[in-house]
Amino acid sequence: MIDLRSDTITKPTPSMLEAMFGAPVGDDVLEDDPSVNLLQDKIARLFNMPAALFCPSGTMTNQIAIRINTSPQDEVICDQNAHIYLYEGGGMMLNSLVSPKLLKGSKGRLTADMITESINPDDIHRPKTRLVALENTMNKGGGSIYDFKEIIKIAAVCKKNKLKLHLDGARLFNALAESQETPSDYGTHFDTISICFSKGLGAPVGSVLIGTKDAINKGKRVRKALGGGMRQAGYLAAACTYALDHHLDKIKDDHRRARILASAIENLPFVSSLYPVQTNIIIIALKPDRSPQIFLKKLEKKGLLAIGFGPGLIRIVTHLDFNDKQMEKAIQIFKTLE
Ligand SMILES: *Cc1c(COP(=O)(O)O)cnc(C)c1O
């Protein structure tokens, strides 16, 4: 079975497992797990930011970021399809007592002008605008990449209006693989950044939140309250460090395969259109007479898994456990589909 449901389905390689088994560990709640400390230092240095915090999931790093950057009753500006709004179980309302202001970005990307227009006036009727959260790459936008020039403009709007700026960078390394910018360019413009190791980087578990020392100290308290303080977490952190050292270069292969797949699929009879393919995500809009449920069942019968992604939409994602041979097979499966 070829599994293209998500880039989260990858399993650790034998050498990643070896790195995990051999990791020196301690009690990370007591802050003396050397493998967790190593990962946190390494990623903070990479982004040229003061500190980082290892967490079990990207949902938790995002939720912690929202919590430490806001107060109850505040408002968070994000795209209407942002992961923090759509896919985190209503967490910002539950954990931080804040409301989202949902904007209609272009393939999920906001502009500085849109943000300027949606900052609330100082009026007791209105929640206080406090945080802007961007997502790069943007999952629901088909792995779309922000233009870094726009990010600089957005950061300036935030500074001018005393808003915090958070990046949901679950797939930031996918964006970086296709751009000129470095991680430290991102570190310069955001207050907090969340990075996932369990997506394109291929680790089994783990995300980090990166920010100032003060932000990360506050974040540590929130992580504890959310039940995210882990003990010998170094076994997991070692997988993430291994991924940083060995898997970053492979992301471009995922993108190359996504482009080849997309060009093989785009003119097939069931396709109405494809979202622009910039990274490892392909979103297929089916012809109106095609039911996604039936389409997915047919695909599965032929040996390929994909997922439904909203009305008439199918998502496929390339990843570390998908090679050129499987790609050829996948193309054959799509081509022989009725
Ligand atoms: C996967 C993902 C997350 C985090 O998800 P977890 O499953 O909680 O690790 C956050 N943001 C985006 C855009 C994602 O794709």
Q: What burial letters (b/e) apply to 236-252, b meaning 16+ CB within 10 Å?
A: bbbbbbbbbeebeeebe
Residues 198-226, mean pLDDT to the nearest whole number: 98
**pLDDT higher than 80, residue 338:** no
Over residues 107-133, the mean pLDDT reads: 98
3-state secondary structure 292-304: HHHHHHHHHHCCE
CA pair distance 114, 257, nearest whole angstrom: 34
**Of the residues 8, 10, 84, 87, which should be mutated to test ligand 1's pocket, given the most ligand atoms within 8 Å of the CB?**
87
Q: 279-302: buried (b, 16+ CB within 10 Å) or exposed (e) per residue?
A: bbbbbbbbeeebebeebbeebeeb
- Which residue, by CA, sits nearest to atom 5 of ligand 1? 58
| pLDDT for the residue numbered 271 | 97
Residue type, 48: N
| pLDDT over 90, % of the chain | 99
Is the pLDDT assigned to residue 164 strictly greater than 90? yes
Q: What is the structure's pLDDT at 297?
A: 97
Between vectors from CA 154 to CA 213 and to CA 175, what angle results, nearest 5°? 75
What average pLDDT does this structure show over 39-46?
98
Cα–Cα dist 41/312, whole Å? 44
Does the pLDDT at position 332 exceed 80? yes
Query: Average of pLDDT values for 217-225?
Result: 98
Number of residues that make up the chain: 338
* Averaged pLDDT, 144-168: 98
CA distance 26 to 37: 10
Instruction: Report the pLDDT value the prediction gives residue 282, as an integer from 0 to 100.
Output: 98
Cα separation, 182 vs 170, whole angstroms? 16
Of the candidates 291, 205, 298, the one whose C-alpha atom is nearest the C-alpha of residue 243 is 205
Using an 8 Å Cβ cutoff, are 270 and 291 in contact? no
Pairing status of strand 192-196 against strand 164-169: parallel
Average of per-residue pLDDT across 318-327: 98
Q: Give the binding-site residues of ligand 1, using a 6 Å CB cut-off.
A: 57-59, 62, 83, 135, 139, 168, 170, 196, 198-199, 207
Taking the C-alpha atoms of residue 240 and residue 242, their distance in angstroms, rounded to an integer, is: 5
Q: Nearest C-alpha to atom 14 of ligand 1 is from which residue? A: 170
What is the whole-number distance in angstroms between the Cα of residue 197 and the centre of ligand 1? 10
* Contact yes or no for 55/64 (Cβ under 8 A): yes
Structural domains for the chain: 2-6+250-336 (3.90.1150.10), 11-246 (3.40.640.10)
**Percent with pLDDT over 70 in the chain:** 100
pLDDT of 180 reads: 96
> Model confidence over 52-86: pLDDT tens digits?
999 999 999 999 999 999 999 999 999 999 999 99
Task: Specify the 3-state DSSP secondary structure of 178.
Answer: coil
State the average pLDDT for the chain.
Answer: 98
Question: Helix, strand or coil for residue 313?
Answer: strand
Q: What average pLDDT does the segment 105-130 reach?
A: 98
Is 90 exceeded by the pLDDT of residue 35?
yes
Tokens coding 331: 């193309």
- Tell me the whole-structure pTM to 2 decimals: 0.98
2 in Cβ contact with 304 (< 8 Å): yes
Q: Please state the separation of Cα 35 from the chain's center in Å.
A: 23
Phi-psi label, residue 188: left if phi above 0, alpha if psi -120 to 50, beta otherwise: alpha
Tokens 């910039």 correspond to what residue? 278
In the reported structure, the alpha carbon of residue 194 is separated from the centroid of ligand 1 by a whole-number distance in angstroms of 9
CA 320 to centroid of ligand 1, rounded, Å: 17
The CA 104 to ligand 1 mean position distance, Å, reads 20
